[in-house]
Amino acid sequence: MSITSSTICSAAEALQGLVGFNAKTGLHIVRFSEDSFGLDVTEDSIQPCAEFVWQPLKGALMTLSRERLGMLLEQRIDERLNISEPLRLYLRRSDLPEIIAERRKA
């Protein structure tokens, strides 16, 4: 199977779960329900993992962040987060620049 930038972007859009910023610890945490974050995570910091991995660049352009994907991979719940092989390959290929794309809501 050939893995393209388009395949990697589609895999990023298919990520499951939510990420919230824990102000007390200064760390992002992953959960699968907004109700399970607790009081140390403000509601406005909670976002779907598929949004969390994309960082604004300029205008409508966004960068697929290897750092943030790596943070999700560190959780060691790949199957539950739906981290697939295209995303693992993207993380391993640090010799290539991060993907920059214009994201649009369907």
| Residue located via tokens 């910023």 | 21
How does pLDDT run across 18-55, given as a tens digit for each residue?
Answer: 999 999 999 999 999 999 998 899 999 999 999 999 99
Partners of 21 in beta bridges: 28
> How many angstroms separate the CA atoms of 37 and 57, rounded?
28
Query: pTM (2 decimals)?
Result: 0.91
Q: Which domains does the chain have, with CATH numbers?
A: 5-102 (3.90.1650.10)
> How many angstroms separate the CA atoms of 90 and 9, rounded?
10
Q: C-alpha distances in angstroms, 70 versus 33, 35, 67, 84, 89?
A: 21, 25, 5, 13, 12
Sign of CA dihedral 91, 11, 48, 65: positive
How does pLDDT run across 43-89, given as a tens digit for each residue?
Answer: 999 999 999 999 999 988 999 999 999 999 999 999 999 999 999 99
